[in-house]
Amino acid sequence: MDTHPDHLRCPVYSRREYAADAVVHLLGVTAGWLGGIWLVLSRSGSLGTGSLTAVAIYALAMAGMFTASAAYNVMGGGWLKDYLRRLDHAVIYAAIAGTYTPLLTRLPGVTAAIALGIVWGVAMAGILLKLWRPRRHERLGLILYVCLGWVGLPLIPALSGRLLADTGLWIGAGALTYTLGVGVYLAHRVRYHNVLWHLMVLVAASFHYVAIGNEFP
Protein backbone atom coordinates (compact mmCIF):
# COMPACT_ATOMS: atom_id res chain seq x y z
CA MET A 1 0.00 0.00 0.00
CA ASP A 2 1.27 3.44 -0.90
CA THR A 3 1.35 5.40 2.36
CA HIS A 4 2.39 8.68 0.72
CA PRO A 5 -0.55 10.72 -0.61
CA ASP A 6 -0.05 11.82 -4.19
CA HIS A 7 -0.46 15.49 -3.37
CA LEU A 8 2.54 15.38 -1.02
CA ARG A 9 4.80 14.39 -3.89
CA CYS A 10 3.48 16.58 -6.67
CA PRO A 11 6.25 19.00 -7.66
CA VAL A 12 6.03 22.58 -6.42
CA TYR A 13 7.25 25.50 -8.54
CA SER A 14 7.58 29.25 -8.08
CA ARG A 15 4.83 31.65 -9.12
CA ARG A 16 6.86 32.76 -12.13
CA GLU A 17 7.35 29.17 -13.21
CA TYR A 18 3.62 28.51 -12.87
CA ALA A 19 2.83 31.66 -14.84
CA ALA A 20 5.23 30.77 -17.65
CA ASP A 21 3.91 27.22 -17.73
CA ALA A 22 0.34 28.52 -17.91
CA VAL A 23 1.21 30.59 -20.99
CA VAL A 24 2.76 27.56 -22.69
CA HIS A 25 -0.30 25.47 -21.90
CA LEU A 26 -2.70 28.15 -23.10
CA LEU A 27 -0.85 28.17 -26.41
CA GLY A 28 -0.86 24.37 -26.56
CA VAL A 29 -4.56 23.96 -25.81
CA THR A 30 -5.57 26.69 -28.25
CA ALA A 31 -3.33 25.43 -31.05
CA GLY A 32 -4.24 21.82 -30.31
CA TRP A 33 -7.99 22.23 -30.61
CA LEU A 34 -8.05 24.83 -33.40
CA GLY A 35 -5.36 23.02 -35.37
CA GLY A 36 -7.01 19.64 -34.86
CA ILE A 37 -10.45 20.84 -35.91
CA TRP A 38 -9.05 22.60 -38.97
CA LEU A 39 -7.02 19.53 -39.94
CA VAL A 40 -10.08 17.28 -39.89
CA LEU A 41 -12.51 19.70 -41.53
CA SER A 42 -10.09 20.73 -44.27
CA ARG A 43 -9.54 17.05 -45.19
CA SER A 44 -13.17 15.96 -44.98
CA GLY A 45 -13.67 16.31 -48.72
CA SER A 46 -10.40 14.78 -49.88
CA LEU A 47 -9.81 11.76 -47.63
CA GLY A 48 -11.62 8.46 -47.52
CA THR A 49 -13.53 7.39 -44.42
CA GLY A 50 -10.67 5.28 -43.03
CA SER A 51 -7.98 7.92 -43.46
CA LEU A 52 -10.21 10.71 -42.17
CA THR A 53 -11.11 8.66 -39.09
CA ALA A 54 -7.43 7.99 -38.42
CA VAL A 55 -6.60 11.70 -38.75
CA ALA A 56 -9.50 12.55 -36.42
CA ILE A 57 -8.18 10.09 -33.82
CA TYR A 58 -4.80 11.78 -34.04
CA ALA A 59 -6.31 15.26 -33.73
CA LEU A 60 -8.44 14.31 -30.72
CA ALA A 61 -5.52 12.58 -28.98
CA MET A 62 -3.26 15.57 -29.55
CA ALA A 63 -5.80 18.11 -28.29
CA GLY A 64 -6.66 15.83 -25.38
CA MET A 65 -3.01 15.62 -24.37
CA PHE A 66 -2.64 19.41 -24.20
CA THR A 67 -5.94 19.78 -22.34
CA ALA A 68 -5.14 17.14 -19.72
CA SER A 69 -1.67 18.60 -19.23
CA ALA A 70 -3.07 22.10 -18.79
CA ALA A 71 -5.72 20.94 -16.31
CA TYR A 72 -3.12 19.20 -14.15
CA ASN A 73 -0.27 21.71 -14.33
CA VAL A 74 -2.42 24.82 -13.83
CA MET A 75 -4.34 23.30 -10.91
CA GLY A 76 -2.96 24.69 -7.66
CA GLY A 77 -3.36 21.63 -5.45
CA GLY A 78 -5.79 19.46 -3.53
CA TRP A 79 -7.22 16.01 -4.09
CA LEU A 80 -8.37 16.82 -7.63
CA LYS A 81 -4.80 17.52 -8.73
CA ASP A 82 -3.87 13.95 -7.83
CA TYR A 83 -6.42 12.55 -10.26
CA LEU A 84 -5.58 15.09 -12.94
CA ARG A 85 -1.94 14.00 -12.67
CA ARG A 86 -2.97 10.43 -13.39
CA LEU A 87 -5.05 11.54 -16.36
CA ASP A 88 -2.27 13.79 -17.67
CA HIS A 89 0.30 11.00 -17.63
CA ALA A 90 -2.16 8.44 -19.04
CA VAL A 91 -3.23 10.57 -22.00
CA ILE A 92 0.38 10.82 -23.19
CA TYR A 93 0.17 7.17 -24.24
CA ALA A 94 -2.98 7.89 -26.22
CA ALA A 95 -1.28 10.86 -27.88
CA ILE A 96 1.68 8.73 -28.99
CA ALA A 97 -0.56 5.97 -30.31
CA GLY A 98 -2.84 8.55 -31.90
CA THR A 99 0.08 10.04 -33.80
CA TYR A 100 1.04 6.64 -35.16
CA THR A 101 -2.54 5.76 -36.15
CA PRO A 102 -2.86 7.64 -39.47
CA LEU A 103 0.71 6.76 -40.48
CA LEU A 104 0.19 3.03 -39.89
CA THR A 105 -2.89 3.03 -42.13
CA ARG A 106 -0.44 3.41 -45.01
CA LEU A 107 0.63 -0.21 -44.43
CA PRO A 108 -1.15 -3.14 -46.15
CA GLY A 109 -4.35 -4.33 -44.48
CA VAL A 110 -3.19 -7.16 -42.21
CA THR A 111 0.15 -5.51 -41.43
CA ALA A 112 -1.62 -2.27 -40.53
CA ALA A 113 -4.05 -4.09 -38.24
CA ILE A 114 -1.23 -5.91 -36.43
CA ALA A 115 0.86 -2.74 -36.06
CA LEU A 116 -2.10 -0.74 -34.78
CA GLY A 117 -2.98 -3.55 -32.37
CA ILE A 118 0.55 -3.56 -30.93
CA VAL A 119 0.75 0.23 -30.63
CA TRP A 120 -2.64 0.62 -28.99
CA GLY A 121 -2.09 -2.49 -26.85
CA VAL A 122 1.07 -0.98 -25.36
CA ALA A 123 -0.71 2.37 -25.03
CA MET A 124 -3.62 0.80 -23.14
CA ALA A 125 -1.19 -1.00 -20.82
CA GLY A 126 0.49 2.33 -20.10
CA ILE A 127 -2.84 4.08 -19.57
CA LEU A 128 -3.98 1.45 -17.07
CA LEU A 129 -0.62 1.64 -15.30
CA LYS A 130 -0.87 5.40 -14.88
CA LEU A 131 -4.52 5.39 -13.82
CA TRP A 132 -4.37 2.61 -11.24
CA ARG A 133 -0.70 2.40 -10.19
CA PRO A 134 0.61 5.91 -10.89
CA ARG A 135 3.40 5.88 -8.31
CA ARG A 136 4.54 2.29 -8.05
CA HIS A 137 6.10 1.87 -11.47
CA GLU A 138 7.15 5.36 -12.58
CA ARG A 139 10.40 4.13 -14.11
CA LEU A 140 8.52 1.46 -16.07
CA GLY A 141 6.05 4.09 -17.22
CA LEU A 142 8.86 6.32 -18.48
CA ILE A 143 10.43 3.40 -20.34
CA LEU A 144 7.07 2.62 -21.94
CA TYR A 145 6.78 6.25 -23.11
CA VAL A 146 10.13 6.10 -24.88
CA CYS A 147 9.62 2.59 -26.28
CA LEU A 148 6.18 3.44 -27.60
CA GLY A 149 7.53 6.62 -29.13
CA TRP A 150 10.21 4.72 -31.03
CA VAL A 151 8.17 1.59 -31.80
CA GLY A 152 8.01 2.71 -35.41
CA LEU A 153 11.72 2.03 -36.00
CA PRO A 154 11.21 -1.66 -36.95
CA LEU A 155 8.47 -0.55 -39.35
CA ILE A 156 10.74 1.76 -41.35
CA PRO A 157 11.40 -0.87 -44.07
CA ALA A 158 7.68 -1.58 -44.39
CA LEU A 159 6.78 2.12 -44.49
CA SER A 160 9.59 3.01 -46.88
CA GLY A 161 8.03 4.13 -50.12
CA ARG A 162 4.57 4.35 -48.56
CA LEU A 163 5.17 7.63 -46.74
CA LEU A 164 6.42 10.86 -48.25
CA ALA A 165 10.09 11.51 -47.51
CA ASP A 166 9.27 14.77 -45.72
CA THR A 167 6.80 12.96 -43.49
CA GLY A 168 9.48 10.65 -42.16
CA LEU A 169 11.81 13.56 -41.47
CA TRP A 170 9.18 15.49 -39.52
CA ILE A 171 8.20 12.41 -37.51
CA GLY A 172 11.85 11.71 -36.70
CA ALA A 173 12.45 15.32 -35.66
CA GLY A 174 9.44 15.19 -33.37
CA ALA A 175 10.44 11.88 -31.80
CA LEU A 176 13.97 13.16 -31.19
CA THR A 177 12.66 16.35 -29.60
CA TYR A 178 10.37 14.36 -27.31
CA THR A 179 13.23 12.07 -26.31
CA LEU A 180 15.60 14.96 -25.56
CA GLY A 181 12.80 16.57 -23.62
CA VAL A 182 12.70 13.62 -21.23
CA GLY A 183 16.16 14.64 -20.02
CA VAL A 184 14.89 18.17 -19.41
CA TYR A 185 11.85 16.79 -17.59
CA LEU A 186 14.09 14.79 -15.26
CA ALA A 187 16.36 17.78 -14.50
CA HIS A 188 14.34 18.75 -11.42
CA ARG A 189 17.04 21.01 -10.02
CA VAL A 190 17.01 23.24 -13.09
CA ARG A 191 14.72 26.24 -12.76
CA TYR A 192 11.91 26.34 -15.30
CA HIS A 193 12.69 22.75 -16.31
CA ASN A 194 8.96 22.00 -16.38
CA VAL A 195 8.31 24.97 -18.66
CA LEU A 196 11.15 23.93 -20.97
CA TRP A 197 9.82 20.38 -21.05
CA HIS A 198 6.36 21.53 -22.06
CA LEU A 199 7.84 23.85 -24.67
CA MET A 200 9.70 20.89 -26.16
CA VAL A 201 6.47 18.89 -26.16
CA LEU A 202 4.78 21.73 -28.02
CA VAL A 203 7.60 21.89 -30.58
CA ALA A 204 7.64 18.11 -31.04
CA ALA A 205 3.87 17.99 -31.43
CA SER A 206 4.12 20.77 -34.03
CA PHE A 207 6.62 18.69 -36.01
CA HIS A 208 4.22 15.74 -35.96
CA TYR A 209 1.31 17.98 -36.92
CA VAL A 210 3.22 19.10 -39.99
CA ALA A 211 4.00 15.45 -40.78
CA ILE A 212 0.34 14.38 -40.63
CA GLY A 213 -0.82 17.40 -42.60
CA ASN A 214 1.88 16.76 -45.18
CA GLU A 215 1.01 13.07 -45.52
CA PHE A 216 -2.75 13.57 -45.69
CA PRO A 217 -3.35 16.68 -47.83
Q: What is the pLDDT of residues 173-182, one digit of tens each?
A: 999 999 999 8
Radius of gyration of the chain (CA): 17
Whether 146 maps to a domain, the answer reads yes
Is residue 36 in some structural domain? yes
CB 119 within 8 A of CB 97: yes
Q: Is residue 9 part of a domain?
A: no
Q: 166 near 206, Cβ under 8 Å? A: no
| pTM (2 d.p.) | 0.89
Residues 6+ apart with CB under 8 A from 60: 36, 98
Query: What is the number of structural domains in the chain?
Result: 1
Q: Please provide the DSSP assignment of 96-129 as one string.
A: HHHHHHHHHTTS-HHHHHHHHHHHHHHHHHHHHH
Q: What angle do CA 119, 166, 89 make, to 5 degrees?
A: 35
| Interval 90-126: pLDDT, tens | 999 999 999 999 999 999 989 999 999 999 999 999 9
The answer to whether residue 199 sits within a structural domain is yes
Residue 135 within a domain: yes
* Residue 141: per-residue pLDDT: 79
pLDDT: which is higher, 49 or 15: 49
Q: Which domain holds residue 107?
A: 14-215
How many other CB atoms are there within 10 angstroms of residue 136's CB atom? 11
Residue 2 lies in a domain: no
User: Percent of the chain beyond pLDDT 90?
Assistant: 65
The CA distance from 217 to 201, in Å, is: 24
7 within some domain: no
CATH number at residue 97: 1.20.1070.10
Q: What is the mean pLDDT of the chain?
A: 89
Q: CB pairs under 8 A, 24+ apart, for 82-89?
A: 82/5, 82/6, 82/7, 82/10, 85/6, 85/10, 85/134, 86/130, 86/131, 86/134, 87/131, 89/130, 89/134, 89/141
Helix or strand run (H / E) with residue 88: helix 79-104
User: What's the CA gap between 120 and 115, in Å, rounded?
Assistant: 9
